[in-house]
Chains A and B, each alone.
Chain A
Amino acid sequence: RKEVEQDPGPFNVPEGATVAFNCTYSNSASQSFFWYRQDCRKEPKLLMSVYSSGNEDGRFTAQLNRASQYISLLIRDSKLSDSATYLCVVNRGSGNMLTFGGGTRLMVKP
């Protein structure tokens, strides 16, 4: 089983749609969780950290379920510019090392 698993997609959605991604992690000792966005041939960029109580940043909402060991990302009112690969990232539970999920590709169509 992979440490961090994501549905690779692609998710093809029209502009304005709401789309949700899920991610599961295997290390119950993990403490830090992030969603990163990666555009083609570019470095990943932090989209948002994920907190236990859930958090929102504009059109983006992240939630964490520690009991089930999954993380979600909800994107409302999708824009064309949201098209990218979204990476679920989890620390290994000790130290600073991160484990990346394989990413979920989103394509927003006009």
Chain B
Amino acid sequence: GAVVSQHPSWVICKSGTSVKIECRSLDFQATTMFWYRQFPKQSLMLMATSNEGSKATYEQGVEKDKFLINHASLTLSTLTVTSAHPEDSSFYICSAPRDSNYGYTFGSGTRLTVV
């Protein structure tokens, strides 16, 4: 149980275009969704926290106008990378908390390549 479906798994886009990444909780309600980014050989870095029905909270240094987060329902959170540039190429992954014993459920990640 407690599956988060993330898609697309990978995407290649041209500089200047926008890319939307979706995370859906399939068998539970995710009131909170965390969005992470991971560059090669680096750790997962929290970008922002989305909460259903309210504005997302962004970590320091993350541009909220560039990384648009929407959490319109209890089962869907989206991250849109606007006007993507090659330096935005990374592994983006979402995660929803479960409980203190079971940690967090992760989506399968999206590998974004901007050319």
Contacts and interface: CB of A to CB of B under 8 A. Distances in A.
> Contact residue range for chain B?
20 to 34
B101 interface: yes
A41 B38 CA distance: 10
A42 interface: yes
Interface in B72-94: 91, 93
B113 to A, nearest CB: 12
B67 interface: no
A100 interface: yes
Contacts of B34: 96-98
Interface stretch (A12-20, A43-51, A62-70, A71-79): A43-51
Contacts of A89: 103
B106 A43 contact: yes
Contacts of A97: 34, 46, 49
A41 B41 CA distance: 10
A41 B110 CA distance: 9
Contacts of B42: 102
A46 B103 contact: yes
A49 B107 contact: no
B43 A103 contact: yes
B25 interface: no
7 cross-chain pairs, A with B, having the tightest CB-CB distances, nearest first: A96-B97, A43-B106, A102-B43, A100-B44, A46-B103, A100-B43, A43-B109
Given A41-B111, A42-B108, A102-B42, 20 more contacts: A32-B103, A34-B103, A36-B103, A41-B91, A41-B109, A45-B106, A46-B103, A46-B104, A89-B103, A96-B32, A96-B104, A97-B34, A97-B46, A98-B34, A98-B46, A98-B95, A98-B104, A100-B44, A101-B43, A103-B43
Interface of B: 32, 34, 36, 42-46, 49, 91, 93, 95, 97, 100-104, 106-109, 111
